[in-house]
Amino acid sequence: MLDKNIAADVLHEAISLGADFADVFVERKNVQNLSFNSSKVKDIQSGTDFGIGVRLIYGKQYLYGYTNSAKKEDLIELTRNLAAQIKNSANKTFASKFSSNEYPMIGSFEDKTATLDQKVAKLKELDKLVRNQGEHIAQVNISLIQYNQQVEIFDSEGLHASESRPYCRMAANAVARDGQAQTSGSWNPGARGGYSFVEGLDMKWIAEYLGKKTHTILFADPCPAGTKPVVIDNGFGGVIFHEACGHLLETTSVQKKASVFWDKKEEMIAHEALSAVDDGTIDNLWGSLSIDDEGMPTQKTQLIKNGKLENFLSDRMGELKSGHKRTGSARRQSYKFAPASRMRNTFIEPGPHKLEDLIATMDDGIYAKSMGGGSVNPGTGEFNFAVEEGYLVKNGKIEKPVKGATLIGKGEDIMKKMSMVGDSLDYAAGMCGSVSGSIPVTVGQPPVKVDEILVGGNA
């Protein structure tokens, strides 16, 4: 996408102006979004994002700029503007040689050729199936999001790496109504790959899932508030680990000592029943990458093993500032952001228990079958998540559905209360927002029991 000679000239300029390290990130993203509402095509959008980011590192400080121009003079001017902020006149030179990097390409769903007509037909099929789930379905909104992100990275250590990253996601949302009572539910599967991912989805299953879920929430009672045990089911339930612990293991917060775990490496930070990984190498998963946004091959990183903190997720700045080795975790939404250490596919590893066994241990608790999103304050570890579909459990048995529940707590407390781990691991796609923008990530877990957590509700 960018002439090698121009990249070399920019890096030479940066190094001759005293930078200890510099890199150039080139991105072209082709996007096509199709949205469907009221059983009709609502919008079809397509477009191209293009831009180049230049980063200069001086000691432990970085300067970053971006532009839509690939012209040499514009990139050199940008580099000079950045370097002008630093009083450093060291006169070094860049060798102007790039080496070919070998790394395994992560697998992805085939980008099967499909016309817009075929895609529209697929959404129509799902729309019809969802509407057939019952009279309570008042509206269906479906989006098909496809984009291909091509990245190319050059750096002053001679690295030249590139990757084409295909993404495909469907977002299906059903609105349910009964008199004045209304609610909604959604199912948003995503994968690394092309349209064949959508062709492999079981539309009938998705329709039935949305029909049941919205019906359950619509007629559920408000959730009673209080401190209770909670069993969180698999798949998107993994958002609890993502928020309560994952963000606190990114050097983005660790390097600022803004994580409660910054000095806890090799210490027990979780219940011994719990092991967790962040793995960017799994074929077809939404958060997988062949290389990270610094051009480093991605990897599987064991975060916690039997409760002990083993590793942090680190990028170049994280390594410079915290000393933790890079893990292929440098990520960014686009050329408009400098990279930061971020999660990829993060999940709790399976344990020995059946879901029914976990539920049976609760005398008065909540079974969170489906979770919404959440957030965390890394400095204090305080987190929150929404329960989309929940059930009150009495004497080990599911009693009735409840709505409007939120779980809150502190990461360092809750990790020690995850005492039982189920055997059925599942993944779910999500978007994660943080310092380097919004990026695709996978969360995952088997069913997990939390011995005690504050449940917010409106009963």
- Of 377, 396, 423, 437, which lies in the binding site for another protein, with binding defined by CB under 8 A? 377
- Note whether 314 binds another protein by CB under 8 A: no
**Binding of residue 65 to another protein (CB under 8 A):** yes
Would the CA dihedral through 248, 251, 257, 261 be positive or negative?
A: positive
Is 171 near another protein (CB under 8 A)? Answer: no
Q: Is residue 67 a contact point for another protein (CB under 8 A)?
A: yes
Please, which residues bridge with residue 7 across strands?
none
Alpha helices in 324-419 (DSSP H): 355-360, 411-414
List the one residue out of 336, 291, 309, 357 whose CA is nearest residue 438: 336
Q: Evaluate whether 401 touches 391 at the Cβ level (below 8 Å).
A: yes
88 lies in the binding site for another protein (CB under 8 A): no
The one segment of 65-73, 94-102, 105-113, 149-157 that binds another protein by CB under 8 A: 65-73
What three-state secondary structure class fits 16? helix
Q: Are 270 and 418 in contact (CB under 8 A)?
A: yes
Site for another protein in 27-46 (CB under 8 A): 31, 37-38, 40-46
**Does 85 help bind another protein (rule: CB under 8 A)?**
yes
Tell the smallest beta-carbon distance from residue 116 to another protein (Å): 4
Question: Is residue 121 part of the contact set for another protein (CB under 8 A)?
Answer: no
Size of the site for another protein (CB under 8 A): 76
**Whether the Cβ atoms of residue 106 and residue 290 lie closer than 8 Å to each other:** yes
Task: Considering only the stretches 220-228, 347-355, 357-365, 415-423, report the one whose residues sit in contact with another protein under the rule CB under 8 A.
Answer: 220-228
- Figure out which of the listed residues 14, 22, 24, 82 binds another protein, where binding follows CB under 8 A: 82
CB of 430 to another protein, least distance (A): 11
DSSP state at residue 184: E
138 counts as binding another protein under rule CB under 8 A:
yes
Enumerate residues 6+ apart whose C-beta is below 8 A from 293.
25, 151, 153, 330, 331, 332, 339
Nearer to another protein, 350 or 372 (CB): 372
What residues from 178 to 217 belong to the interface with another protein (CB under 8 A)? 181-184, 217
The residue within the footprint of another protein, chosen from 5, 68, 88, 96 (CB under 8 A), is 68
CB–CB of 231/362 below 8 Å? yes
The rounded Cα 170 to chain-centroid distance in angstroms is: 16
Should residue 286 be labelled a site residue for another protein when binding is judged by CB under 8 A? Answer: no
